Chain A
Amino acid sequence: NAGVTQTPKFRVLKTGQSMTLLCAQDMNHEYMYWYRQDPGMGLRLIHYSVGEGTTAKGEVPDGYNVSRLKKQNFLLGLESAAPSQTSVYFCASRVMGNIETQYFGPGTRLLVL
């Protein structure tokens, strides 16, 4: 199993450009998450999904959109990138149940100029 993979690993954008980050998991997990991590801060939840075709807002959803068309994939979109979106983005997944841990991808480093 590859676990949770993220594409791309690193990207530089200009302000106003758009892009999509891809998260894929091969563990048949129901739940998937997108977080951002900024220096000196813990992870903050952007959006999450509790199943195929469903999405929900997290703590910092503004400026991002998501889609979960297939169970194994969770896409994070930036329609018009801003310098404040410079961050490291992590995807995670887990099985259903309240006592289950999350499995994290390696992260995508995004720089918006």
Chain B
Amino acid sequence: KQEVTQIPAALSVPEGENLVLNCSFTDSAIYNLQWFRQDPGKGLTSLLLIQSSQREQTSGRLNASLDKSSGRSTLYIAASQPGDSATYLCAVSGVETSGSRLTFGEGTQLTVNP
């Protein structure tokens, strides 16, 4: 059974700092890995999707990497801003379910202080 773990559970940083969020998964047989953002009281918004054949994806100040063999992904946020404050969730799409389902981590709650 696939398990996804995110470290740290919470992170507080001053504005302008670069930061890294970590995600690990136990089964390397995945189709893709996704990073989502969740604002308080809201649904999830997809940030980046990395296919299993890719090593990284970039969108603006966000960069996500994937090391499938070691079961790890990182989300790098450059020059953090207060508007980046949210919970960030990592999720993998597994081969064992033919890619139809996502398994989520518990999330990292990020606070960027002005």
Q: Which residues of A contact B (CB under 8 A)?
A: 4, 31, 33, 40-45, 48, 50, 58, 90, 92, 97-99, 101-107
A105 to B100, CA, bound (A): 18
**For the complex, would chain B's binding face be called helix, strand, loop or mixed by DSSP majority?**
strand
How many chain B residues sit at the interface, stated as a range, is: 20 to 34
Indicate if the CB atoms of B43 and A48 lie closer than 8 Å.
no
Ordered nearest first, which 3 A-B pairs have the shortest CB separation?
A98-B99, A42-B104, A104-B43
Partner of B43, one of A44, A45, A90, A97: A90
How many A-B residue pairs have C-beta atoms within 8 angstroms? Tell me: 56
Q: Which residues of B contact A (CB under 8 A)?
A: 4, 6, 9, 31-32, 34, 41-46, 49, 51, 89, 91, 93, 98-102, 104-107
Indicate if the CB atoms of B101 and A48 lie closer than 8 Å.
yes
Q: Which residues of B contact A44 (CB under 8 A)?
A: 104
Closest CB in chain B relative to A48 CB, distance in Å:
7
